[in-house]
């Protein structure tokens, strides 16, 4: 950029035209409405699934060496967990939990297979104290487990009272012990996450990574197509004399990026609102007792900010490269071939992020979360489901910022050379040679 | 305060596009930049605009290297015509003017004035793709001048225009020149250049072949031509070519132009024609046309890439489209 070409106001003028041109096109309006409808359907899908699964019963196994104690545990837990909500007729109420006595091995196998939601291990110690351990995927903080903690106290009272000897020499009542053996590994800054929170994080992680991937591919191609269309219509000849390559490139990326973001928000905000109020919607549609907590309960402001940072930087990085690529084709049709390598890079980042979301955490994933162009996807996934060290986050964002800066300079140079090339087959060699010539 | 192209060299890989090119354009004049395809005209203009960097040498306007000048110094009409197909004519004119720093309201007012002037006011709110090529070209010309540039660079501005639009564009050239703007245009249409230009630069393969005031270049050539028409004899008879002192005959619809040898005497030729019994309706000693001058200097016409052999058939003066 020469001193005569400050970024503003021209980049802003170009961005405004690009934005208006996009958002006023009928295709944009129609696709936004269709996608918004689809997103709302997806957001409402869990309520539909709950409706279809409303007859599903959650199974909890009770394991104890003392059959009598086991029966008492079943009776107490059943009365607490299957208590009908206020206003519901107990006669017609369908119990959501089934408690069954089983052996340790069978219970463990059922838990691993997912047939059982939890195992309640109940035993009486030599001191007479009842010891209750809940083995589950949920954390102690979940509503169900807190009810089971109450149940444990009831089991202890019932067991103590049932073993009272005649006379007055009754042994003192010892408060039962209750602990949760949680299988959840996700944490938030060292704090174990509740199962609902962990599930929410996993769900949102997938949603965010998929949205970022789609944005990079779809809106990145918008940028490339926009550049290629200007070139094929030859209006580029006028533009390149009126504004510098850097102004043109920045304006185009900002304008089309803003149009993409507008569509993105139009799709995401109603869907997020539905997710946020899913509990109330479920209660209104299915009746009392069907609220299970909103699926975005794991979404915190820092996570949202992290998503914003990685979304903007990730999109900026890819969009700049897409713009440079668009400048090298004479017809928009040629873009598919030229953009394939970049799409593959985005796919690699996306797949790595999916592995990270499913609990993978090897050296490759850790490295990919730091190094552009994979870091926007992979670090986003990592911050959603695992603990990330502050220095890792700083390195990742720092390298991404540096990459955007370097790529913007190189892309502007390639753009300047590429937009004047006509009738040449697009290829990496032409790409590099033109960049050198522009220098 | 002039446009100085000073020893500019530009190479594209193995191809030498400009080879130490130098010439001056005086402010406020209409300057023709003449050369065949691939001579280096577009590259020179792109270097002026800062789109392409010279490998060596420098271009200055009013003593300032072009890299240090604001973009609005220049107006540019590229050879390849192009507008945003789906954008309204007025909207894109205002858009381009805004990029050059014009206020939208003023640009809109000026654009409407030029559209009126170019006889296309009804197209202001039409999409560019709905306009004919000639009208699109006029819109693009307006886009190049709306910000009132000091120097207007135009690459083949007359290509594709019908005669009526050609006249309109030439009138606009004259008006802009009278406003003190400097107009530089490349062309291989010698007739248009001859009609409009005060000075020219003739380049070939990136090198300056001749440059300066058109009148001076013609005088410096040392060649004289005779314009002749014979009563009742059409086309021009073969014996004209055998008259002593005549090197070549360029027949046309009204008669012929005789290209003379350097030491030929027009009076002797007049006597020789009369001695053949012909009745002369026109006999005039004229300067060589720009087309002829170009061929003499470059060795071929401007609209072909083939090597000019000097053999018949001869291209009629002004006949190059």
Q: Which of A98-102, B214-218, B235-239, B311-315 has the highest mean pLDDT?
A: A98-102
Q: Which residue among A2, A237, A244 places its CB closest to the CB of B80?
A: A237
- What is the Cα A289 distance to its own chain's centre? 27
Tell me, yes or no, whether B306 lies in a domain.
no
Residues B107, B149: one domain?
yes
A282: exposed, middle or buried (Cβ count in 10 Å: 0-12, 13-18, 19+): buried
Q: Which domain holds residue B269?
A: 224-287
Instruction: Describe the crossing of helices A375-385 and A301-326 by its angle, rounded to 10 degrees.
Output: 170
Query: How far is the C-alpha of B65 from the C-alpha of A103, rounded, in Å?
Result: 91
CATH-assigned architecture of domain A55-183: 3-Layer(aba) Sandwich (3.40)
What are the sequence ranges of the domains in chain A?
A: 10-50+194-438, 55-183
Q: What percent of chain A has pLDDT over 90?
A: 21
Is the pLDDT score of B314 beyond 50? no
Residue with tokens 């059409």: B234
* Residue A183 phi, psi dihedral angles, 5° rounding: -90, 0
Give the nearest chain B residue to A11 (CA atoms): B99
Whether B68 sits inside 8 A of A238 (CB atoms) is no
Whether residue B117 lies inside any domain: the answer is yes
Q: Let me know: does A17 contact A242? Beta carbons within 8 Å.
A: no
Asked if residue B126 and residue B66 are part of one domain, the reply reads yes
What's the burial of A348, exposed, middle or buried (CB within 10 Å: 0-12/13-18/19+)?
A: middle
Mean residue pLDDT across chain A: 81
Same domain, B131 and B162: yes
What's this model's pTM, rounded to 2 decimal places? Answer: 0.71
Instruction: Outline where DSSP puts E strands in B133-268.
Output: 151-155, 182-187, 199-204, 207-213, 225-230, 246-251, 256-260
**Is A234's Cβ below 8 Å from some Cβ in B?**
yes
Q: Does the pLDDT at position A262 exceed 60?
A: yes
Q: Establish if B36 belongs to a structural domain.
A: yes
pLDDT of residue B316: 30
Residues B7 and B128 in one domain: yes
Q: Hey, of B12, B51, B54, which one would you mutate to test binding to chain A, going by the most A CBs within 10 A of its CB?
A: B51
Whether residue B186 is found in the same domain as residue B261: no
Mutate to test the interface with B, among A9, A22, A227, A235 (most CBs of B within 10 A): A235
Task: Give the pLDDT confidence of B226-274 residue by residue, as tens digits.
Answer: 889 888 777 778 888 888 888 888 888 878 888 888 788 889 888 888 8
Q: What is the pLDDT of residue B112?
A: 95
Of B46, B84, B98, the CB nearest to A235: B84
The CATH number for B244's domain is: 3.30.70
Peptide bond into A343 cis (omega under 30): no
* B209 & B230 share domain: no
Each residue's pLDDT tens digit, A324-383: 888 888 777 778 888 888 889 999 999 999 888 876 667 888 899 999 999 999 998 888
Among A5, A237, A250, A430, pick the best mutation site for testing chain B contact (most B Cβ within 10 A): A237
Q: Minimal CA–CA distance to B220: which of B229, B230, B209, B231?
A: B209
The residue out of B213, B245, B274 marking a domain boundary is: B213
Residues B196 and B49 in one domain: yes
The answer to whether A4 contacts B76, with C-beta atoms less than 8 Å apart, is no
Residue with tokens 């209409």: B30
Identify the CATH number of the domain in which residue B40 sits. 3.40.50.300
CA distance B3 to A420: 24
- pLDDT at position A401 is 95
Q: Are residues B206 and B236 in the same domain?
A: no
The whole-angstrom distance between residue A115's C-alpha and the CA centroid of its chain comes to 26
- Tokens (6 digits) for A164: 């009272």
In this structure, are B190 and B91 located in the same domain? yes
Q: Are residues B181 and B233 in the same domain?
A: no
Cα→Cα distances A77→A61, A125, A141, B84, B303, Å: 11, 20, 17, 72, 98
Residue A64: closest CA among A131, A162, A139, A147:
A131
Number of structural domains (chain B) is 2
Q: How many contacts, defined by CB atoms under 8 Å, are there between A and B?
A: 70
Residue-wise pLDDT for B131-188, tens only, equals 988 889 899 999 999 999 999 999 989 887 888 888 888 899 999 999 999 999 998 8
B301 in any annotated domain: no
B70, A4: Cβ pair inside 8 Å?
A: yes
Same domain, B201 and B155: yes
Indicate if B251 and B171 belong to the same structural domain: no
Give B-chain residues touching A20 at CB under 8 angstroms.
Answer: none
CB neighbour class for B184 (10 Å; exposed up to 12, middle 13-18, buried from 19): buried
């Amino acid at each position: 950029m020469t001193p005569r070409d400050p970024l503003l106001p021209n980049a802003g003028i170009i961005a405004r035209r690009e934005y208006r041109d996009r958002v006023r096109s009928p295709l944009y309006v129609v696709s936004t409405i269709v996608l918004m409808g689809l997103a709302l359907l997806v957001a409402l899908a869990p309520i539909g699934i709950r409706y279809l699964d409303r007859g599903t019963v959650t199974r909890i196994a009770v394991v104890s060496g003392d059959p009598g104690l086991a029966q008492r545990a079943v009776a107490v837990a059943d009365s607490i967990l299957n208590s009908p909500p206020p206003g519901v007729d107990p006669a017609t109420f369908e119990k959501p939990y089934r408690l069954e006595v089983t052996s340790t091995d069978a219970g463990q196998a059922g838990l691993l297979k997912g047939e059982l939601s939890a195992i309640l291990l109940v035993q009486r110690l030599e001191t007479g104290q009842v010891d209750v351990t809940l083995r589950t995927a949920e954390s102690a903080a979940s509503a169900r487990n807190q009810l089971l903690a109450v149940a444990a106290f009831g089991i202890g009272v019932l067991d103590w009272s049932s073993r009272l000897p005649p006379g007055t020499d009754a042994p003192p009542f010892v408060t039962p012990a209750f602990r949760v053996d949680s299988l959840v590994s996700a944490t938030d800054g060292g704090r174990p996450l509740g199962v609902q929170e962990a599930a929410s994080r996993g769900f949102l992680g997938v949603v965010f990574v998929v949205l970022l991937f789609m944005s990079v591919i779809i809106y990145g191609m918008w940028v490339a197509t926009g550049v290629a269309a200007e070139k094929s219509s030859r209006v580029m000849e006028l533009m390149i004399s009126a504004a510098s390559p850097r102004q043109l490139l920045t304006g185009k990326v900002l304008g089309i990026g803003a149009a993409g973001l507008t569509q993105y928000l139009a799709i995401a905000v109603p869907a997020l609102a539905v997710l946020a109020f899913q509990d109330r919607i479920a209660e209104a549609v299915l009746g009392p007792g069907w609220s299970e907590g909103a699926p975005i309960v794991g979404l915190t402001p820092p996570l949202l900010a992290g998503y914003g940072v990685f979304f903007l930087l990730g999109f900026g990085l890819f969009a700049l490269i897409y713009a440079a690529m668009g400048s090298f084709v004479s017809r928009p049709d040629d873009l598919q071939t030229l953009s394939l390598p970049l799409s593959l890079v985005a796919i690699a980042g996306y797949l790595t992020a999916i592995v990270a979301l499913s609990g993978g955490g090897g050296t490759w994933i850790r490295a990919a979360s730091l190094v552009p162009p994979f870091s926007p996807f992979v670090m986003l996934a990592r911050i959603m489901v695992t603990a990330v060290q502050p220095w890792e986050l700083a390195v990742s964002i720092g390298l991404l910022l540096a990459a955007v800066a370097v790529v913007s300079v190189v892309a502007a140079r390639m753009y300047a050379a590429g937009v004047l090339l006509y009738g040449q087959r697009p290829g990496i060699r032409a790409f590099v040679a033109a960049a050198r010539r522009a220098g | 305060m002039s446009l100085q192209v000073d020893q500019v060299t530009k190479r594209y890989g193995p191809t030498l596009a400009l080879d130490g090119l130098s010439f001056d354009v005086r402010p406020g004049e209409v300057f023709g930049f003449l050369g065949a395809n691939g001579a280096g005209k577009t590259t020179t203009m792109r270097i002026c605009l800062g789109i392409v960097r010279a490998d060596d040498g420098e271009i200055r306007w009013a003593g300032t290297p072009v890299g240090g000048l604001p973009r609005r110094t220049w107006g540019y009409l590229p050879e390849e015509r192009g507008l945003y197909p789906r954008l309204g004519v007025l909207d894109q004119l205002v858009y381009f003017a805004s990029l050059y720093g014009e206020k939208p309201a003023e640009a809109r007012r000026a654009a409407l004035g030029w559209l009126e002037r170019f006889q296309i006011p009804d197209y202001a709110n039409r999409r560019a793709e709905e306009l004919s090529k000639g009208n699109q070209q006029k819109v693009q010309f307006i886009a190049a001048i709306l910000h009132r540039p000091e120097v207007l660079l135009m690459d083949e501005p007359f290509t594709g225009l019908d005669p009526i639009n050609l006249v309109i564009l030439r009138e606009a050239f004259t008006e802009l020149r009278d406003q003190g703007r400097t107009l530089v245009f490349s062309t291989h249409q010698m007739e248009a250049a001859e009609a409009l230009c005060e000075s020219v630069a003739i380049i070939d393969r990136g090198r300056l072949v001749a440059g300066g005031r058109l009148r001076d270049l013609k005088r410096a050539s040392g060649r004289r031509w005779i314009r002749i028409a014979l009563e009742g004899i059409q086309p021009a008879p073969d014996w004209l070519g055998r008259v002593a002192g005549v090197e070549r005959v360029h027949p046309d619809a009204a008669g012929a132009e005789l290209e003379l040898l350097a030491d030929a005497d027009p009076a002797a030729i007049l006597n020789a024609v009369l001695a053949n019994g012909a009745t002369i309706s026109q006999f005039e000693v004229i300067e060589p046309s720009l087309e002829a001058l170009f061929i003499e200097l470059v060795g071929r016409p401007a609209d072909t890439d083939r090597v000019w052999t000097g053999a018949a058939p001869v291209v009629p003066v002004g006949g190059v489209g």
